[in-house]
Each structure stands twice: as structure tokens, then as C-alpha cells.
Chain A
Amino acid sequence: MNAKAANRIADAIVIAVIFIALLLCLAPFLHIFSISLSSNRAIMSGDVTIFPVEINFEAYKKVLQDITMLRSMGFTVLLTISFTLICMTMSIIAAYPLTKSYLWGKKFFMLLIVITMFFSGGIIPEYILIKELHLMNTMWALILPAMISPFNLIILINFFQSIPSSLHESAEIDGASHFRVLWQIVIPLSMPVIATLSLFYAVSRWNGFMDTLFYITDPNLYPLQLKLYQLVMNNMVNDLIQLEGTQLVQFLPESLKAASVMFATVPILLVYPWLQRYFVSGIMLGAVKG
């Protein structure tokens, strides 16, 4: 076999393997999507693969009519936006002073921050802290503990440092205060990084589940992931309890679970193209500078 043919075969194998990987990534979503649109009979008898069987929109009707689901989605959107704004603001005001090499105490502050990357009190002391601060079942319990990510902070510091100091100096000569330099020069020039880090924060908050599990016990305040968890894993839906013989069986149609999963996934899918672009550039920033 000559080299050209061997090359072609290698190409074909690579294309095929990648294609299988792509299918494996997409198939689960297509499957869940199909289930959400199929009839229960079809699901139970295993007829549903990638395409819906006996299409009906019952499941979606139920999900969209469920006020608790809509409330949960609304609350999560509000939470995510607030979280991102607060975190970004805090990260920016923390990063700017730390880029000044002449800042007294800079080494101390940096050490303070870096240590937290490698050691923490643990989830129990954090839980007790939230309890003592009376933040249980509030949005603040989901925002305050994670306000500044040291990882993101370092990316921001590195980027700020790459802004030519001549810009700072000419502004300072013109009498601009640090506040003004930050607000009118540094931030506008840093928009790409700020956009990327905002997305980092937003996605982590949107997908975050662990802290919501610990700190939100009021079902009216369940963020989306927690609500989904209760729904799908615990089958906690009161109006679908059926009596089978003498056994009380909680019955939640697979299609309803699937529709709920899709409901929670759609927002991520909608913003995915931007997510992907900014996240990848963010990783590059972190990897190259770090």
C-alpha cells in the first residue's frame, strides 16, 4: 500500500471517529428532546430513539403551565444577572489596585487571596457562617460567598497590566483620579475580558447546584437546577400520585421529566454560540498569561 492510500485511509478513520464522538455528544439531547414530545406508551415500550413517536405537546403544556417552574426560571434569571453584575464589579475594583506595583501592602493582599485558592474552611463552616449571618433562603446566600473568584481575578489583573502604562500616566498628568482612570480608560479598554469573565460567572451561577441545595430550603425559592433536581430525581410531584393495589406509587411521566430537562437546557443552548467563543478565548487568556 503506497503512502497516498495509507494517508487517505488514516483521514477516513479520523473523520469517522470524530463523527462518532459528535454523535455521542448530540444523541443524548436529541433523545431527551424526542421523549419530551412522545406519548407515554411509546416511551414505555422503548420505541423512542432519536425521533419522537406519537408526537404530542402535553408535557410542554404541563411544564409551561406550572407556575412554580416559571417562577423558578424567573428567579434564576434574576439571580444570575445580579450575581454577574456584583461579581464583575467586585472583581474589577479588586483587580485595579492590585495592578499597581507601587501599592503598599500589595504582596500581603495577593498572598491573602492566593491562599484561599488552596485552602478553605470547608462546606460545614461555610454553612454555619451563612446560618449565623441569617442568610438562609435568601438570594444573598447564593451571591456573597462566591463574589470574587481568585482565578478570574488573576486573569483580570494580568489583562489590566497589559494596558500600556503611558495611558495611565498621561491621564494622571491631566489630573485624573484613580476612579476616573478606572472608569474612563481601563474598563472601556477591557470590555472583551469583562465580557468573558462575566460569562464565566454567569454560567457557573446558572449551573450551580451544590450551594442551592445547602442554602435554599423554601420550595418557592428553588433556583432552576434545584427545582429540576427535585422533579427529576425525587419524582416530587403531588398531583401525579397513583394508587397501585395497596402500594402508593409516585408516577411522573417520562415525557414530563424530559420536557423539564429541555426547559432547563434551552437557555444554555440559546446563548451557546457566544458562550463557546468567549469561553475558549478566556481559557487562552488564562493559559497564556497564567
Chain B
Amino acid sequence: MNTTAATDSDRRMEAARHQRAITFLRRHWQLYVLLVLPIAYFLVFKYGPMYGVTIAFKDYNMFEGINASPWSGFDTFKEIFGMREFYVAFRNTLMLNFLDLAFSFPAPIILAMMLNELRHAWYKKLSQTILYLPHFISWVIVGGIVYQVFATKTGIVNTVLMNVGMEPIPWLSDKMYWVVTYIATGVWHSAGWGTIIYLAAMTGINKELYEAAEVDGAGRWTKIRYVTLPGIQSTIVVLLILKLGELVQIGFERPYVLGNVSVSEFSEVLSTFVYKMGLQSAQYSLATGVGFFQAVVGLIFILSANYIAKKTTDQGII
């Protein structure tokens, strides 16, 4: 008696669920119509290439296509890890990112603190408008400007140096000086825009803390040290950790545009290396392997960074 009752109610529940599904779709089919194209987009243009990563494990032949190319296991990776250029590119990626961190990370913080201290609202607004400008300039245009300004013979920087009696410096052709140019350009491009998030954090600091500090006789600098800085501390920590999570990633445009043959010992990074191997030398399997390696390591870094950020400040991006 019990079993029949159970299957009966099961069947009724099935039918009810069925009915609910039909009613749901009848009411909301339009939502799924809207989603068709976007989901198709993600599947074709995002997950399609993810499948293409298998090229790294195959001996890819352009004419046979991905599926027909024979498997080669980890041969490609063995080849990659035996290439000197790979290690150079990897080292440069880490080195340039690390230097960027050392200079481009504090710059917006310091700038934001100064902007915060400005008393004249019009000056503050004007400054922000001007400071954001470099962020909107493409790397190609920045490159054009850099090549002009830092040119060894005719660049204005060297002209000024020569006028004060110094020797012109090969900013773009000597690999050591090139790194300086690269980092300085990065600071120029991102410092102003980076202040936005810190200024926003600063406006979130309780005004009463400043008043209390004032009452306790705190001067300008003391207020900054004991009220402002602690107030944006969590923002700084989160952003720092996230930046560290991106240590293995590097954009393509900036090193590609600013770099050149004479400084390639320092300017070749993973992204440009993949481009040169893949699109210029047509070594597709190799280039895909390097890209895959970078993506996996990058993912590990980002997940770890996010985990640490969550543990220390309750904030993360995931």
C-alpha cells in the first residue's frame, strides 16, 4: 500500500514539476531568446579558443587543422623549457612587473594624498582633469611621443642634458636605460588615473577622526600618518595583493611598442614572445604552449592572491 502511494505521489510530483517547467518557459521564454546570442558568443569566442589550447599538446599542422593533427604529449613543453629565450622572456616579465610595482604602485597613492590636501577646489578639479589625460592615450601614440622625446640625438630630454653640459643618454637603445624609460612611461600613463580609487577611499574616512586629531593638536603630517593612511590601508592592501596576482601577466602593447631589437634582452616578455613565436614564426604549438603556461601560472597567482586578500581584509574580487 505504501509503495503504490509513494510512486503515485512521485508521479504527481513529476507531473507538477513538468507543468511548472512548461508554465515557466511559457512566461519567460523571451529571457532565453535574449540570452541565445550572448551565450553563443561566449561559447564560440571564449571557449572555442580554450579548446584550441590542445594545440600545445599536439604537433599542429595548419592544413590538417586542430583535430587531425597528431598528439605529441608534453614534447612541446619540453622544448619550451629548453629554450633560453623562454627563460629570458619569463624573467623579463617578472622583472618589469616587479619594477612597475615598485614605482607605479606608490605613485598614485602619493599623488592622491597630495590632491587630498589641496584646499582650492578649482585647482583640485583642474589637476584631476589634466592628470587623467595620459590614461586615455593609446600605447601607439605614447610610443610615438616617447620615441620623439627620448631620441638620442634630437630628443628634448637629451637636448636639455647637453645644454647643461652632460652627455646625451641612450634612453631607448641601451637596455639599462630602456628599463628606466619603460617604467617612467608606465608611471606617467597610470599615476593620474590611479588616484581615483584612493581619493574615493579617502572620502570614505570619517571626518570626525580628523576633527579629533585636530583637537589633540595634530599637525598636517601627523593627520596624514595617523588618519588618512590607516583609512585607505585596506584599499592599498587589496590592490597590492591583486597586483601581485598579476605578476605573470603582462600587456602586449606597451612592451611591443616601446621595445626594440637593441634592448630585446630586457624588452622581450612572455606576451611579445608568444606573438613572435606564433604569428611571426608560425610555431603555433610552441607559442600556444607558452601562452597556456602563462595562463595557468597566472590563474594560480590570481587565485592565491584573492585568497590572501580575503583572509587579510575580507575583500577580494571573487
List which B180-203 residues lie within 8 A (CB) of chain A: 188, 191-192, 196-197, 200
B122 contacts chain A at the CB level, 8 A cutoff = no
Q: Are B279 and A109 in contact (CB under 8 A)?
A: no
Q: Are A265 and B137 in contact (CB under 8 A)?
A: yes
Q: Which residues of A contact B (CB under 8 A)?
A: 3, 6-7, 10-11, 14-15, 17-18, 21-22, 24-26, 28-29, 31-32, 35, 43-44, 46, 48-49, 90, 93-94, 96-98, 100, 102-104, 109, 112-114, 116, 118-129, 132, 144-145, 147-148, 177-179, 182, 203, 206-210, 213-214, 225-226, 228-229, 232-233, 254, 257-258, 260-261, 264-265, 268, 272-273, 275-276, 279-280, 283-284, 287, 290
Q: Are B197 and A126 in contact (CB under 8 A)?
A: no
Contacts of B34 in A (CB 8 A): 93-94, 96-97, 178, 182
B21-62 near A? 1/0 per residue, CB < 8 Å: 000100010111011011101101111111111010000000
B275 contacts chain A at the CB level, 8 A cutoff = yes
Q: DSSP class of B's interface residues: helix, strand, loop or mixed? A: helix
B169 contacts chain A at the CB level, 8 A cutoff = no
Q: Using known A-B contacts A11-B117, A178-B28, A228-B144, determine if residue A46 contacts B156 with beta carbons closer than 8 Å.
A: yes
Q: Are B137 and A268 in contact (CB under 8 A)?
A: yes
B232 contacts chain A at the CB level, 8 A cutoff = no
Contacts of B266 in A (CB 8 A): none
Q: Are A121 and B48 in contact (CB under 8 A)?
A: yes
Q: DSSP class of A's interface residues: helix, strand, loop or mixed? A: helix
Q: What's the Cα separation between A276 and B24 when bound, in Å?
A: 44
Q: Which residues of B contact A (CB under 8 A)?
A: 24, 28, 30-32, 34-35, 37-39, 41-42, 44-53, 55, 65-66, 111, 114-115, 117-119, 123, 126-127, 129-134, 136-141, 143-145, 147-149, 154, 156, 159, 162, 188, 191-192, 196-197, 200, 219-221, 252-253, 256-257, 271, 274-275, 278-279, 284, 287-288, 291-292, 294-295, 299, 302-303, 317-318
Of A25, A265, A273, A283, which contacts B188 at CB under 8 A? A25
Q: What's the Cα separation between A127 and B282 when bound, in Å?
A: 11
Q: Are A178 and B30 in contact (CB under 8 A)?
A: yes
Of B127, B149, B253, B302, which contacts A31 at CB under 8 A? B149
Q: Are A32 and B156 in contact (CB under 8 A)?
A: no
Of B32, B45, B47, which contacts A144 at CB under 8 A? B45
List 18 A–B pairs whose Cβ atoms lie within 8 Å, in order of A's numbering.
Answer: A7-B220, A18-B127, A22-B131, A90-B37, A93-B35, A97-B32, A102-B28, A112-B42, A121-B50, A124-B279, A124-B284, A125-B53, A127-B279, A129-B49, A209-B140, A228-B140, A228-B144, A284-B200
Contacts of A254 in B (CB 8 A): 148, 154
Q: What's the Cα separation between A101 and B243 when bound, in Å?
A: 33
Q: Using known A-B contacts A232-B143, A261-B145, A276-B129, determine if residue A15 contacts B123 with beta carbons closer than 8 Å.
A: yes
| Distance to closest chain A CB from B193 (angstroms) | 9
Contacts of A44 in B (CB 8 A): 154
Q: Are B291 and A123 in contact (CB under 8 A)?
A: yes
Which chain A residue has the least Cβ–Cβ distance from B293? A122
Q: Are A17 and B114 in contact (CB under 8 A)?
A: yes
Contacts of B66 in A (CB 8 A): 128
Which chain A residue has the least Cβ–Cβ distance from B45? A145
